[in-house]
Structure 1
Amino acid sequence: MKLFWKVLFSLHLLIETVLGNWWNLAAPVRPVQTSNTSLETFISMHKESCQRFDYLVERQKQLCMLSDKMVQVLQTGAQQAVEECQHQFRNSRWNCSTVDNSTDIFGGVLKFKSRESAFVHALSAAALAHAVARACSRGELNECSCDARVRKRTPRHWQWGGCSEDIRYGEKFSRDFVDVKENKESDEGIMNLHNNEAGRRAVRGRMQRVCKCHGMSGSCSVRVCWRRLPQLRIVGDSLSTRYEGASHVKIVERKRGKNIRKLRPIHADMKKPNKTDLVYLEDSPDYCEPNDELGILGTRGRTCNRTSAGLDGCRLLCCGRGYQTRVRDHEEKCRCRFVWCCRVHCEICRSKRDHHVCN
């Protein structure tokens, strides 16, 4: 029996390695040539492009084929997720680096059920919901447009109008597309599903109400308002805060008629995570030293801040190995002045600056 489970686990890892995940769409994809082709041919080519993504399961391929613009929307969501992840972790030991020539752009780092994996899943689900909702409001997808449901409400001092971005459809698509790949019975699947939903809630909870005044002489007798998506940076900042306070949890089984598996804090005196918190099951791997198997680059050669006590400081980022200080020439524009008409003339100022690099 032990041998059976070992073989089954090895097979699961092999399948996961081959398939990768949907955010592999962030990798460059050769565009489909559409010149001098009929509509039928273009639709056929679009379906073929969805089918050739081997790391998508069948349901994801079906959703990809809903619209001829869906591949671009999926790619936008994946690329924005990777870029935002790299921005948020730019000063950390693991800087959300991507790996070339791999079936998974993050390498093997996300095989760990760590807080980094929690963040990536939450941000990816959020970015897809964000990208789909924005594409809906721009008329790029046939299945959705603006959110008309908010107009059923009757507020006192203003009225709904304009084009509210349909985060409900974005959430629904993200839930259908991202969550379908998770095993609801496995520990990792339960963790990922929780973090996916936390990411989507981070978008919904930061929707902004935007209003425009109407009336004689700017009296604003009537205000027309609509809902707008937050910038993904705002969502990323929020999830980064959640990452810092992520809950270390375990899976417990409750038998009430049928087995129910729930996330609970690893220690009884810790706060139970709510639906907006990020959760993780395992401690993070060591990001200090390179690990080719996991796609970890290590921190040797990284630039650090000698005066910072934070994660970007030389003491933490260099993992106690010390650092070297190098003097580099620095150029920047200076003494800029306006020249009539109509340009700005600047001089180039040169200086030498210390540059600190981890050993």
Structure 2
Amino acid sequence: MELFYKVLYPLLLFVNAAMGNWWNMAVSESAGTLNNSIESAPPLRRDSCQRLTFLVDRQKQLCQLSDHIVQVIQSGAEQALEECQHQFRHSRWNCSTVSNSTDIFGGVLKFKSRESAFVHALSSAALAHSVARACSRGELNECSCDGRVRKRTPRHWQWGGCSEDIRYGEMFSRDFVDSKEDKNSDEGLMNLHNNEAGRRAVRSRMQRVCKCHGMSGSCSVRVCWRRLPQLRLVGDALATRYEGASHVKVVDRKRGKNIRKLRPLHLDMKKPNKTDLVYLEDSPDYCEPNDELGILGTRGRTCNRTSIGLDGCRLLCCGRGYQTRIRDHEEKCRCHFVWCCKVHCDVCRSKRDHHVCN
């Protein structure tokens, strides 16, 4: 248990009601500022922890125990933010970040909204994914490959190779991320539910990969192992869950002791299961700028005139209309192979319409 607690620190900040504190930790050593795209931060080391004033003493103590786990979680934080911005690139809120703030998302995640639900789920999933991947690569002393799968006895094939230990990744994520949540508060119940949904999105997409062995490709022996899914697949799944997130409320059930549960806001709504995302409040208005909340609005955003989706001008521009600008466009064309060994291309120029929200 002592060894396990040596690695229970960094993502406490990554998912505590806003992913921002951990991300601030991840980029605090960087001279750059955050924008809508990610800037690579230098590796954070444990001797930096004392300088991070937003950490409490116990957090600093845990932070100082291992350089390796801090760097693994820093990488996970970067991947999570990148995935969030990919999934929301066409939405009114595009997971934009705010510089010079203790919260990279401004005040957006102060709302118990579906965006907050998505960020918590993705953060928890990214931690489990990042730690499990580091275990299989031998980057952490506390874990390695998943030896439990070898105890199973499948027919026609056998376990081998290095199965990535999603169980350890989940345990790390659950004990670390969830430890900061107050299950007696409405927000805590919501966050705990979404954290678990994120972890389950990773676990349910673990893949079995096999390799044949035998003379002349006979595949007389088939050796298999379990591999993590790409984080993009997890992000896609959580984005689907985000679209169908359940609006819930907290109800008190007294059966010997007071039990608080999440239930659908209306009786005719389906009860959410453990893989669904849930939210307690409607989202703020992302159409207009709001400096207090760090909302940039959609003015000046590029839209797709022909799309009926979220990236379409009608939805993205919030009914304000759009302007069409003509831009010069260059691309390679009429490419041909020149012996030996080059490809020669011309540069073709054209003019294209570019649509921008009013």
Q: Any idea what the Cα deviations from partners look like across 1:116-143, whole Å, max 9, x if unmatched?
A: 0000000011011111111111111110
In structure 1, how many angstroms separate the alpha carbons of the residues matched to 2:164 and 2:336?
A: 43
- Is residue 162 from structure 1 mapped to residue 161 from structure 2 by the alignment? yes
Indicate the residue corresponding to 1:243 in structure 2: 242
Indicate the residue corresponding to 2:175 in structure 1: 176
Kindly, what percent of the aligned residue pairs are identical? Answer: 85
Q: TM-score, normalised by structure 1?
A: 0.88
1:58 Cα deviation (Å)? 5.5
1:178 Cα deviation (Å)? 1.2
Q: Any idea what the Cα deviations from partners look like across 1:175-223, whole Å, max 9, x if unmatched?
A: 1221111111110010001000000000000001000000010100100
Q: Is the 8 A contact 2:106 2:294 kept in 1?
A: yes
SS at match of 1:262: strand
Query: Which AA in structure 2 matches 1:221?
Result: S
In structure 2, how many angstroms separate the alpha carbons of the residues matched to 1:30 and 1:107?
A: 19
Q: Indicate how the Cα distance of structure 1 residues 203 and 19 shifts in structure 2: closer, same or farther if over 3 A, else same.
A: closer
In structure 2, how many angstroms separate the alpha carbons of the residues matched to 1:216 and 1:284?
A: 61
In structure 2, how many angstroms separate the alpha carbons of the residues matched to 1:303 and 1:324?
A: 10
In structure 2, how many angstroms separate the alpha carbons of the residues matched to 1:18 and 1:284?
A: 15
Q: Is the 8 A contact 2:18 2:110 kept in 1?
A: no
Q: Is the 8 A contact 1:160 1:224 kept in 2?
A: yes
- Is residue 106 from structure 1 mapped to residue 105 from structure 2 by the alignment? yes
Query: Which AA in structure 1 matches 2:145?
Result: C
Q: Indicate how the Cα distance of structure 1 residues 144 and 51 shifts in structure 2: closer, same or farther if over 3 A, else same.
A: farther
Query: Which AA in structure 2 matches 1:129?
Result: A
Q: Indicate how the Cα distance of structure 1 residues 328 and 26 shifts in structure 2: closer, same or farther if over 3 A, else same.
A: farther
In structure 1, how many angstroms separate the alpha carbons of the residues matched to 2:311 and 2:98?
A: 22
Indicate the residue corresponding to 1:214 in structure 2: 213
Q: Is the 8 A contact 1:27 1:105 kept in 2?
A: no
1:68 Cα deviation (Å)? 2.1
Indicate the residue corresponding to 1:75 in structure 2: 74
Map of 1:130-149 to 2, 5 A cutoff? 130-149=129-148
Q: Is the 8 A contact 2:45 2:71 kept in 1?
A: no
Map of 1:1-359 to 2, 5 A cutoff? 21-27=21-27, 29-30=29-30, 46-56=45-55, 60-61=59-60, 63-359=62-358
Q: Indicate how the Cα distance of structure 1 residues 134 and 58 shifts in structure 2: closer, same or farther if over 3 A, else same.
A: farther
Query: Which AA in structure 2 matches 1:161?
Result: G
1:326 Cα deviation (Å)? 0.2
In structure 1, how many angstroms separate the alpha carbons of the residues matched to 2:29 and 2:166?
A: 27
1:257 Cα deviation (Å)? 1.1
1:84 Cα deviation (Å)? 0.3
Q: Is the 8 A contact 1:157 1:223 kept in 2?
A: yes
Query: Which AA in structure 2 matches 1:253?
Result: D
Q: Is the 8 A contact 1:19 1:56 kept in 2?
A: no
SS at match of 1:304: coil
Query: Which AA in structure 1 matches 2:321?
Result: G
How many residue pairs match? The answer is: 331
In structure 2, how many angstroms separate the alpha carbons of the residues matched to 1:278 and 1:158?
A: 37
In structure 2, how many angstroms separate the alpha carbons of the residues matched to 1:19 and 1:345?
A: 47
Query: Which AA in structure 2 matches 1:165?
Result: E
Q: Is the 8 A contact 1:162 1:225 kept in 2?
A: yes
Q: Is the 8 A contact 1:264 1:272 kept in 2?
A: yes
In structure 1, how many angstroms separate the alpha carbons of the residues matched to 2:84 and 2:20?
A: 18
Q: List gaps (5 residues or longer) in structure 1.
A: 1-15, 32-44
Q: Is the 8 A contact 2:18 2:105 kept in 1?
A: no
Q: List gaps (5 residues or longer) in structure 2.
A: 1-15, 32-43
1:27 Cα deviation (Å)? 2.8
Q: Any idea what the Cα deviations from partners look like across 1:203-260, whole Å, max 9, x if unmatched?
A: 0000010000000101001000000110000000000000000000000000011111
In structure 2, how many angstroms separate the alpha carbons of the residues matched to 1:270 and 1:133?
A: 36
Q: What is the alpha-carbon root mean square deviation over aligned residues?
A: 2.0
In structure 2, how many angstroms separate the alpha carbons of the residues matched to 1:342 and 1:282?
A: 61
Query: Which AA in structure 2 matches 1:277?
Result: D
Q: Indicate how the Cα distance of structure 1 residues 67 and 253 shifts in structure 2: closer, same or farther if over 3 A, else same.
A: same
